[in-house]
Amino acid sequence: MANKIGWIGLGRMGEAMVKLLTTAGNGVDIWNRTRSKAEPLVQYGATLVDHKQDLAACEVVFTMVSTTDDLKEVLFAEGGLVTGKVLPRVVVDSSSISQEGSAEVRQRLEALGVAYLCAPVSGNAKVAKAGKLLIVSSGPKNLYDLAEPYLKAMSRKCMWVGEGELARVWKIAHNTMFGVVIQNLCEITVLAEKAGIPRHVFLESINDSVLGSMYTRYKSDVLTNLSFENVTFTPKLLLKDMDLGMSAAKAQGVAMPAAAATRESIARMVGRGHDHVDFSILLTEIAADAGLNLVPENVKVPDGLSA
């Protein structure tokens, strides 16, 4: 099995996506800042390399990191992917970063002769493990066509939305809605519970209504049982994305009052020190504001994510 794919960044998302690639029969060379987090993937057929530049001979190198600065570091800092004598043909980035940061990365890569495709995703690690990610890409169409078989291996659907950084705009809009929906879902859940409806009963009814979605279903278990230690996305990362959304809205001259109010709610949650838990701990913050002390209901809630 030839190793044609390189991968940098093996957090919760990257690990799940690499497993899908190897399960589909692809050879994948991997690198991660913390080597121990990458080692378990060897048993799934991945090859662990010692240096980022060891991936340069791969046909396509994927990156999945936390911030724009992290992406610049793994690409351009000392020992970075594109700082050696051999350069990769294509870099596909699936991180959640700003439109401006992505454009800068594109300019620097293309100046080196390295092609660049944006490919952010919809879904968390649990969704990724179930093979139900949506991957939205932008950049040259021929690059999308090249990467499409790999994208399909990691998703339930992949699509191309146009040239340049349009996929970043899509991701920013997506995650802004992500924040607004969790804010509202927590608000109405607290409203229902304070009025006397058990939390799991109310969430089940929402999930089975016209308003239900994959998102409301996979968050229902943590909201019911208050299992915030099972982290899918942290409050700090959500605040980063809300800030990206507000910045994009300002640049485009679009008023987003619901998103602005949500951004302040998330910022307050971060300010209270909720760092290493799931962002859905927002539920307890809203409940406290309403004078409601929540307790786990110890009810198993189906998430609808069985593969």
Per-residue confidence (pLDDT) for residue 3, from 0 to 100: 55
DSSP conformational letter for 210: T
Is residue 2 over pLDDT 90? no
Please, are residues 53 and 81 in contact by the beta-carbon 8 Å criterion? yes
Is residue 304 over pLDDT 80? no
Q: Count the Cβ atoms, other than its own, within 10 Å of residue 25.
A: 9
What residues contact residue 171 under an 8 Å CB cut-off, 6+ apart?
96, 120, 136
Task: State the average pLDDT over residues 161-174.
Answer: 96
**Whole-angstrom distance, CA of residue 174 vs CA of residue 172:** 5
Task: State the average pLDDT over residues 187-194.
Answer: 98
From first CA to last CA, the distance across the chain in angstroms is: 25
Reported confidence tier of residue 306, pLDDT bands at 50, 70, 90:
low
What residues contact residue 77 under an 8 Å CB cut-off, 6+ apart?
83
**Whole-angstrom distance, CA of residue 284 vs CA of residue 158:** 35
Reported confidence tier of residue 66, pLDDT bands at 50, 70, 90:
confident
Q: Domain 169-289: which topology? A: N-(1-d-carboxylethyl)-l-norvaline Dehydrogenase; domain 2 (1.10.1040)
Q: Average pLDDT over the chain, rounded to whole?
A: 94
CA 29 to chain centre: 21
Query: Yes or no: is domain 3-164 CATH 3.40.50.720?
Result: yes
Do 169-289 and 3-164 have the same topology in CATH? no
Task: State the average pLDDT over residues 41-70.
Answer: 94
Which pTM was predicted?
0.88
Query: In this structure, what are the phi and psi dihedrals at residue 219, rounded to the nearest 5 degrees?
Result: -90, -10
Per-residue confidence (pLDDT) for residue 266, from 0 to 100: 97
**Whole-angstrom distance, CA of residue 246 vs CA of residue 130:** 31
Per-residue confidence (pLDDT) for residue 273, from 0 to 100: 94
* pLDDT tens, residue by residue, 222-267: 999 999 998 888 999 999 999 999 999 999 999 999 999 999 999 9
Query: In this structure, what are the phi and psi dihedrals at residue 96, rounded to the nearest 5 degrees?
Result: -100, 95
Percent of the chain with pLDDT strictly greater than 70:
98
Is residue 77 over pLDDT 90? yes
* pLDDT tens, residue by residue, 92-137: 999 988 899 999 999 999 999 999 999 999 998 889 999 999 999 9
What residues contact residue 277 under an 8 Å CB cut-off, 6+ apart?
228, 229, 231, 234, 235
Percent of the chain with pLDDT strictly greater than 90:
88
For 234-263, give one letter per residue: b (16+ CB within 10 A) or e: bbbbbbbbbbbbbebbeeeeeebeebeebb
**Whole-angstrom distance, CA of residue 1 vs CA of residue 143:** 23
At what angle are helices 282-289 and 166-195 packed, to 10 degrees?
A: 40
What are the domain boundaries of the chain? 3-164, 169-289
Measured between alpha carbons, how far is residue 206 from residues 42, 100, 176, 189, 282 in Å?
41, 37, 21, 10, 18
Task: State the average pLDDT over residues 189-195.
Answer: 98
Reported confidence tier of residue 302, pLDDT bands at 50, 70, 90:
confident
Structure token pair of residue 203 = 């969430």
